[in-house]
Amino acid sequence: MNVLVIGRGGREHTIIWSLKKSAKVNQVYCAPGNAGISQMATCIPYDELQFDALCKFAKENAIDLVIVGPEEPLFRGAVDAFEAAGIPAFGPNKDAAIIEGSKAFSKSLMKKYDIPTAQFAAFTEYEAALDYLHKQKAPIVIKADGLAAGKGVTVAQTMEEAEEALKQMMVEKSFGEAGNEVVIEECLFGQEMSILAFVDGETVRPMVPSQDHKPIFDGDKGPNTGGMGTYSPVPHIGQDVVDEAIQKVLIPAAKAMVAEGRHFKGVLYAGLMMTESGVKTIEFNCRFGDPETQVVLPRLESELVDVFQAVVEGTLHEVEMKWSEDAAVCVVLASEGYPGAYPKGKHIKGLDNVKDAVVFHAGTKWNEEQMTTAGGRVLGVTAKGATLAEAQQNAYKSLEHIHFDGMQFRKDIADKALLALK
């Protein structure tokens, strides 16, 4: 098979790495890719939103399957464009991608179909939102309705912080059109967990759970990022809780989308909170999580290409997936200043010395013969182990070989689970 992967981050690098393990996969292209991806696939110079050019390339290069990685091309109709051109594509169409593209839609869907979530209200008028906010208590969560690259959420600890976040989104348009509508919701407390699932209509095949670390600093301090590291499994959260999440959140969400005439095909991601009153849904995404993918796919023992094809062909109900008992830990290496402004073009050294981990590239590019930084999140160092402690040790030992000026990373990825297990 000839495969085209759309995207440029760690998620896409992991997907390609996983696909390349299969003898069924011949040529892999990536648009636009990054420096790390270029070492295992042919990168082509098209932006993720250049649908016409991508469809033309796919036809001219006999592409058998397209995998759309990021949320924005999905929400803008990438899969619709490929399918209209007669090219098989993995991912939800525009109608189904709204489950991530609009938080107001997602919350309304959960309310209508009794999917457990936080209490909320949605607003398109700033004054009405401010008036509602003044009747609430901190901490409280303010979310931009649209896509904001994982950064359109503020967990405000004070009312002043909440008011500022609301003003930034609705008045100062810090997230552009994404802030035309906002969702204000109660703050949930407990352990977080992510469950990704392959979905085709009402057929749901869950992947192994993982736990992301959003804040930039150790101990979950500082502003939220796109994710500073993750681990799988999540051993301090019991299988009964995982089953509850699948039965009360993922399966009902898939059925709800069908009932709404928005048949979902692709990866449905549920961000979950284990509260004192049970599992609650924080958010849904319409694609693989980043960096969750970097620990979930390394545990997949079945061939990823078979699962992709089953979703595209409508035969997912015939597929059973096998998962490794090993644990996996991913530590993200980020640029100085991230998630704020950060420098680019820093020379990355030592990648060839990493032996006991896989390094997935998120923001890298070639500058002549040198590998350099090109993003806020630069690399994801993923290691496996027979236990979570061993996987964690292997990941942190491996990243000691890597260096670039200003490199920052969290030193406590997976600590929550390890402390809870003691």
Residue-wise pLDDT for 246-263, tens only, equals 999 999 999 999 999 999
Distance (Å, whole) CA 230 – CA 214: 9
In this structure, what token pair is assigned to residue 252? 């009902």
Strand order in the sheet with 265-275: 203-206, 191-200, 265-275, 278-285
Superfamily the domain 327-421 falls into: Phosphoribosylglycinamide synthetase, C-terminal domain (3.90.600.10)
Comparing 191 with 414, which gets the higher pLDDT?
414
Distance (Å, whole) CA 113 – CA 108: 9
Neighbouring C-alpha atoms within 13 Å toward the C-beta of 237: 28
Closest CA to 117 of 323, 340, 278, 233: 278
In this structure, what token pair is assigned to residue 324? 């490794």
Q: Is the dihedral of CA 380, 381, 383, 387 positive or negative?
A: negative
Report the range of poorest mean pLDDT among 108-112, 175-179, 345-349: 175-179
Burial of 26 (0-12, 13-18, 19+ CB in 10 A): exposed
Determine the pLDDT at residue 150.
67
Q: Provide φ and ψ at 136, rounded to 5°.
A: -100, 180
Determine the pLDDT at residue 10.
98
Q: What fold, for 191-318?
A: D-amino Acid Aminotransferase; Chain A, domain 1 (3.30.470)
Architecture of domain 2-91: 3-Layer(aba) Sandwich (3.40)
Question: CA torsion 34→38→41→43, rounded to 10°?
Answer: 60
Q: 125-180 belongs to which CATH class?
A: alpha beta
Mean pLDDT computed over 68-88: 97
Mean pLDDT computed over 271-295: 95
Q: In this structure, are residues 94 and 75 in contact, taking their beta carbons and an 8 Å threshold?
A: yes
CATH fold match for the domains 191-318 and 327-421: no
In percent, the amount of the chain with pLDDT more than 70 equals 100
Which value, in Å, is the radius of gyration of the alpha carbons in the chain? 21
Determine the pLDDT at residue 207.
98
In this structure, what token pair is assigned to residue 15? 């997907």
- Whether the per-residue pLDDT at 206 is higher than 70: the answer is yes
Q: pLDDT class for 379, splitting at 50, 70, 90?
A: very high
Per 3-state DSSP, what percentage of the chain is helix, strand, and coil (rounded to 5)? 35, 30, 35
**For the chain, which residues make up each domain, given as ranges?**
2-91, 125-180, 191-318, 327-421
Distance (Å, whole) CA 375 – CA 66: 25
Q: Provide φ and ψ at 390, rounded to 5°.
A: -70, -40
Mean pLDDT computed over 10-28: 97
- Whether the per-residue pLDDT at 421 is higher than 90: the answer is no
